[in-house]
Amino acid sequence: MFNWQHEPESFESGRQGTIYKCWSPQYDDGKKKYVMKKFKKNKSNTTFIKEVDMQRCAAEVGVAPPIIDFYIGGTDKTKGDHSYIVMEKLDQTIFNIIRSQGKLTDDQWKELIKLYEKLDSINVIHNDANPMNVMMKFGPTPRFLLLDYGMSKRGHGNMHISYPLLRARLLREEERISSSSR
């Protein structure tokens, strides 16, 4: 475990926690950017460990950002430290991609399908088909990655459960952006 510090201002707040830009004097080489997902104190250790495990499995097949570090804090609402996961900062939300392009390309839709197929191949159902959980990493080859494995579970079914929901939500977003630009 490294000593991680985070910005006072968050990137995003959600039901389970908050995302911050972070760094560690012992780990950071100054070249990569990291984020910390700091969980609310009432998240159980069992649920937290499951989320870490599912994200690690997804990262091994290139579907999620790798976990750099994590810490299991207290589970009591009034005491104990927050549990957190540190991972590499991704570059852009899928919403920003849609806003800039107007809609996703056929290749981008195929890439999203491949993400869910890869999850099925390792027996992980993502179970949170929220467009906020889809980010792009530019790097040498731009690619989408899935975030937030808190609702995930072991099994198959992404192509019948998660992907159709995500597709419907993204198509609604494309239509909303298209109609607002007319």
- pLDDT truncated to tens, each residue of the chain (182 aa)? 678 888 888 888 877 788 999 988 887 766 678 999 998 877 788 889 999 999 999 999 999 999 999 998 865 555 556 889 999 999 999 999 999 999 999 999 999 999 999 999 999 999 998 999 999 999 888 999 999 999 999 998 888 889 999 999 999 999 998 888 66
Among residues 88, 121, 152, the one where a domain terminates is: 88
Domain co-membership, 101 together with 32: no
Domain co-membership, 110 together with 174: yes
CA distances to 12, 16, 124, 158 from 162, in Å: 23, 20, 11, 5
CB-based contact 61:122 (threshold 8 Å): yes
**What is the reported pTM?**
0.89
d(CA 118, CA 55): 13
Domain co-membership, 63 together with 100: no
Among residues 56, 88, 120, the one where a domain terminates is: 88
CATH value at residue 68: 3.30.200.20
Report pLDDT for 137: 94
Instruction: Give the DSSP letter of residue 131.
Output: G
d(CA 2, CA 28): 10
